[in-house]
Amino acid sequence: MPLPIAHGLLGASVAAALRPSSQSPAWKPVLIGALLAISPDADYILNWMRISSGGWHHGFTHSIPFALVIGLSMIVVSRDWRMRSFLLFTAAYVSHTLLDFTFTESRGVALWWPFTNYRYKLRLPNPIDYTWSDASLFEMSVDILKICLAELLIFAPILLIVMYIRRAATKAHKMA
Ligand SMILES: [Zn+2]
């Protein structure tokens, strides 16, 4: 179960890849992409509030149709009607779903809610070990910190590479 660091960095990478080069400041769509990619895990709140019988996590907020609704809502709220912006918002959000789908150890992700509640998972071997000790608060904090660091080491370079390629492409475009 990737943590917000992995999700945020992946969403930022998707937004950095898809953002229109004319748009400035460039950090704005990247930040929005990161926030969108973190947001599906807000379904934890529904579990904590013990709404219904729980079991909300990896449910409707992780579905692809729901991501399309989020993308649509974002262009309405931002009054930015470009197809590219719709794609950016939707893809940043859906990056979360796909990352969870790929690595989750849970019973799976409700990819096609509301059409089916079936939970899907690919469950590839995860490069990061997400188990942490609960022997003491200190040991748990150290373990979680290590996981955060591992996510940073894997996902930050992806964002940097995408940003580098975008910058190089924009420069080449200006020179042509
Ligand atoms: Zn999730």
- What is the Å distance from ligand 1's center to 104 Cα? 9
Q: State the average pLDDT over residues 70-77.
A: 97
How far are the Cα atoms of 46, 51, 121 from residue 54, in angstroms, in the given order? 7, 6, 20
pTM of the predicted structure, to 2 decimals: 0.92
- What is the Å distance from ligand 1's center to 3 Cα? 8
- What is the Å distance from ligand 1's center to 173 Cα? 37
User: Does residue 144 have a pLDDT over 90?
Assistant: yes
For residue 50, what pLDDT is reported? Answer: 77
Residue type, 153: L
pLDDT 10s digits, 86-116: 999 999 999 999 999 999 988 999 999 999 9
- What is the Å distance from ligand 1's center to 88 Cα? 19
For residue 170, what pLDDT is reported? Answer: 85
